[in-house]
Amino acid sequence: MEYLYWNKDVELFSREEIERIQYKRLRSMVKYCCDNVRLYNERFKKAGLNPEDIKSVKDVTKIPFTFKDDLRENYPFKMFAKPLEEIVRLHASSGTSGSPTVVGYTRNDIETWTELMARTITCPGGHRGDILQNAYGYGLFTGGLGFHYGGERIGAAVIPISGGNTSLQIKLMKDFGSTILTCTPSYSLYIAEYAKQEGVDIEKEIKLRLGIFGAEPSSETLRSKIENSLNIDAFDIYGLSEIYGPGVSVECPEKNGLHVWEDQILPEVIDKETREPVSPGEKGILLFTPLTKEGVPLLRYITNDIASLNYEKCNCNRKMVRMSKVTGRADDMLIVRGVNVYPSQIEHVLMGIPGVGENYQIVVDRDILDTLTVRVEVTQEKFSDRIKDLENFQRMIEERLFEALRVKVKIELVAPGEIPRSMGKAKRVIDLRKENI
């Protein structure tokens, strides 16, 4: 198996070298935050902690956590460590649940992010000469520009098409000979579905060989559907706008976890309840500390994403830790009639059933007791079956979900394309209980 590296010297650091660099940068970052961000200065004083107290990487646990609400409450620029005169880029969240979270980048931050994205595209197999069709959104969302700069850095020809306009996406794939597709997993499946409806022979007319997908959780069964539908090799990435954007971690060809670029980003996993560190391999909440970020430096930023860390050496020879796929979010867990239900559990069951389409939606409501309904698109072939056959198919799905979740689920089968699509993150869960109190 061939392994590619963008910065081989760094990517093949030993664990000792990784931890040496992490300690040096962490100690410097703690002092930088204390000196330049009022929130950290106040929290360190309250905790009786000084930068000099960080004497090893393990001492990171002494540092107070940072939460998304800290960014919202300090909107727009109070978390910035540099004056606006030194900020060359601003990104922000949508702000649908309150004030947006705003991140600012210095020139050095943009350079670091670009280098991380160059590694992120190269690690799965991207290289100079590839034609990268970038269907992530451009704008305040970090996905589009992150892949754009990373693709250009490695020498790929970047098509900045952004999301949506699926007919044009397919036309450019055919006419330009795109070899890499970058977008959300759900949108990649929609592209494949649309191409099929338009009579496009993907194997003969499309040259895609590689897909790099992120911005929403996806299961192994979903990956298989993407690979089969687009005739590509599909890889997961992970990132979040507060920690640069995409480029925090990515899979190598082994597909046995996502390598975190530890020389620049220090990862942790803590127990959801105790907030104490968990053992390697144990699932918990992901935390990140960017080690050289200047614009908006964050210490122990809690993502609420659920994953685990594996420090064993990978066959690709990288010693940088691998994080598991994100299996859900601590704040996305649904409690239905006293049972903990994660959307990822439902997806895992659905994607393993032939005849189920690429899109579904979970609706939670309350009628005296909680009710859980899953709207499921079926394939065109299955939708054309007799009503009796569809009723049996519906009951079979309900039984399988009950076996997996131990809670009753009502399945609503719908025609292909009936559930609204999005060029960004898929709207998988609708919880109506608060509205109906």
- DSSP readout, 308-326? -EE-SPPTTS--S-EEPPP
Residues of the chain with CATH 3.30.300.30: 334-431
Provide the CB-side half-sphere exposure for 115 (13 A, CA): 15
Region 227-233: mean pLDDT is 97
Is pLDDT above 70 for 95?
no
pLDDT of residue 432: 86
Q: Which one, of 424, 426, 427, 428, lies nearest residue 162 by Cα? A: 424
18-71 residue pLDDT tens: 999 999 999 999 999 999 999 999 999 999 999 999 999 999 999 999 999 999
SS (H, E, C) 358-408: EEEEEEEEEECEEEEEEEEEECHHHHCCCHHHHHHHHHHHHHHHHHHHCCC
Beta carbons of 285 and 304 less than 8 angstroms apart:
yes
393-405 residue pLDDT tens: 999 999 999 998 8
Total length of the chain: 437
Residues of the chain with CATH 3.40.50.12780: 1-330
Q: 334-431 belongs to which homologous superfamily?
A: ANL, C-terminal domain (3.30.300.30)
pLDDT of residue 377: 92
51-69 burial string, b = 16+ CB within 10 Å, else e? beebeebeebeebeebebe
Q: Which one, of 229, 234, 265, 272, lies nearest residue 248 by Cα? A: 265
Beta carbons of 23 and 56 less than 8 angstroms apart:
yes
Q: Which of 111-115, 252-256, 405-409 has the lowest mean pLDDT?
A: 405-409
Beta carbons of 194 and 417 less than 8 angstroms apart:
no
311-366 residue pLDDT tens: 999 999 999 999 999 977 777 778 787 777 878 789 889 988 999 987 899 999 98
H or E element in which residue 301 lies: strand 301-307
pLDDT of residue 186: 82
Q: What pTM did the predictor assign?
A: 0.83
Beta carbons of 378 and 413 less than 8 angstroms apart:
yes
Average pLDDT value for the chain: 92
pLDDT of residue 422: 57
| Number of CB atoms found within 10 A of residue 369's CB | 8
**CATH code at 1-330:** 3.40.50.12780
Q: Distance (Å, rounded) from C-alpha 327 to C-alpha 306?
A: 6
